[in-house]
Amino acid sequence: MIPINPNVKIFEPNQRAMIAWNGEEEILLLSTDVSASDSTLVLEVLPLPSEPAVKKGDLETFRRVVDFLNRKIYVAKGRTLTEGPVPPSGEVTFHKNIGAHDISVTHMLDADGFIDWVSDYLKSIGFEHEIISHDMKQLINGYIKNNFVWFVFDVVSLGKETVTNEPIQYRFKTASLFYPLKITNTSEGNTSIELIILTPRLLRTFPGLSIDRVTLRHEPVTIHNDELRELNVDMYKLLRHQEYLKLRIWEITGELKSFDKDLIAQ
């Protein structure tokens, strides 16, 4: 999250997401609670391993899934959970206003191109000054070197009051379940990240963020694909060839600056 006003600090105390992954493709439904030390526009940056399809999400999905888990765990355990010659550096392939969001999906070829694209984008909405820090440039360089060349830019308006962003749903190809964390380490304070994970089987390999930083909130619950259809139709379509799936909540907490690796699992 990059404030247009460089003197403002950004806080992201809560992140909530639901991730459905079938081994080849992922749907990421993402919403965050955010605030700022003063009023400012904020440019949110999300790196992804392939070009995403983007649409407005449904906040009720989170409630429906948690209610479903509560019922399942109550029955099973008797308890419940707590709630040119030079190629262009950027190419806009998607642009749409979604609620309070102004979203662009862009293919980046290098970090200098990232800075140029952001500068041009800011000029188009009336801002002339530089907002990309050295640390952010290094982060972007690292992502691009690792073939994460698709970036979602989202402009939102923040103030001192903590607000919940409308959820956005991203669908993209990926050989591993993926949740971006490194990109958040330029923000301030602590965060609590709640991830609802839905996969055909349990995951065993974590080449990014250590599994020691991931807390399993409850024993995994088996869900039939007909039950999934009632929770989220897009995720049902993604996983419809699997009759039974594993559903669980992961929690990751800590200082935003402590995340030096992304969550990657297989």
What pLDDT does 187 receive?
77
Residue 168 has pLDDT above 80, yes or no: yes
Task: Read off the pLDDT of residues 172-205 as tens digits, 9 standing for 90 and up.
Answer: 999 999 999 999 887 778 999 999 999 999 999 9
What pLDDT does 76 receive?
61
Q: Which residues contact 230 (CB under 8 A, 6 or more apart)?
A: 64
Given pLDDT bands bounded at 50, 70 and 90, which one contains residue 136?
Answer: confident
Range(s) of the domain holding residue 117: 2-265
Which is higher by pLDDT, 14 or 174?
A: 174
Q: Which helix (H) or strand (E) holds 158?
A: strand 150-158
What pLDDT does 79 receive?
52
3-state class (DSSP) for residue 66: helix
Name the domain count of the chain. Answer: 1
Given pLDDT bands bounded at 50, 70 and 90, which one contains residue 133?
Answer: confident
Q: What is the mean pLDDT of residues 207-211?
A: 96
What pLDDT does 149 receive?
93
Residue 218 has pLDDT above 80, yes or no: yes
Global pTM reads 0.90
Task: Read off the pLDDT of residues 60-115 as tens digits, 9 standing for 90 and up.
Answer: 899 899 889 988 887 665 554 444 444 455 555 545 555 677 888 999 988 888 88
- d(Cα 235, Cα 81) in Å, to the nearest integer? 23
